[in-house]
Amino acid sequence: MHPEAVKEYSLDGPVSPVCALREDEAEPFEAAAWPTSAPITVTRIENGARADCVDHVVEEVPVALVYNGISHAVMLASPEKLEELALGFSLSEGILAHPAELYDLEIRAGDQGIEVHMEIASRRFMALKERRRSLAGRTGCGLCGVDSLSAVARTCAPVVRGAPVSLAAISAALAALPSLQPLRAATGAVHAAAWSNAAGRIKFLCEDVGRHNALDKLIGALARGGIVLQDGFLLVSSRASYEMVQKAAGVGIGCMVALSAPTALAVRLAHSAGLTLAGFAREGRLVAYSHGAFITPGAEWSERSGHA
């Protein structure tokens, strides 16, 4: 056992950016070595005029998640908040049941990408080996590498619901969202996942080129912060796909609001898991696809029939 590492990854306090590096191992990860965007000279053409200027494009870096020395998943991700990404992925994929089962985490940067090395509880590592899965994550698909149809549908326990969420709170969070996305403002090419309290104040926000990565980063941040998931709602800048709902329900999130549409499979999962799922969210309006009774309506709110 590693009591010091368990303490660092408990829900009782913050976690240092790099944990328990030994002197004989790789150098600690430095964010400056992997910038999140790159300046590019572009030609803008508008109204018959041409102009050369500098724009910024988002970086995506191969990130390998390594458990007890075995590489399990490789994904393309924005190279920030990788501790949160690793922890959130581990929780949302059911590799870990609790943050305390992550004993140690080390980030090693190389010429071809970044490796996040984690030491996890032996019982969890044995369960991981038994799954016989080799995931190769990509920005557009959360199921890449799943080796059977039965591996797609993990059972989600019904979420424990808190107080209803008001449309006013959702509208307040939507209004604040753009100002809290610096990488999107610079590049226009990333997704965001945010956690808002019941009053509509965004408390956590993570950005990434992949919507699944952004959500995993957020889940990791919430776990490390000890946030009670029944007391607020999740806001995502993307569509609500099945795997996004699965990740949210799997960690106990009770309300998910998306700026775009859900899929039918996502709606069915949200309904069975007791998760309120809303889409097409704009200030003052949205469409509730499941358990809409947990959103307090305003005058402009409407619910799509047949799914509540």
Among residues 141, 156, 206, 255, which one is catalytic?
A: 141
pTM: 0.80
Q: What is the pLDDT of residues 220-269, one digit of tens each?
A: 999 999 998 888 999 999 999 999 999 999 999 999 999 999 999 899 99
Q: What is the pLDDT of residues 221-235, one digit of tens each?
A: 999 999 988 889 999
Exposed / middle / buried, residue 55 (Cβ in 10 Å: 0-12, 13-18, 19+): middle
Domains of the chain: 3-26+60-151 (3.10.20.10), 165-303 (3.40.140.10)
Q: Which of the listed ranges 146-155, 249-258, 296-305 does the model predict with the highest average pLDDT?
A: 249-258
Q: What is the pLDDT of residues 23-35, one digit of tens each?
A: 333 444 454 467 8
255 is known as an active-site residue: no
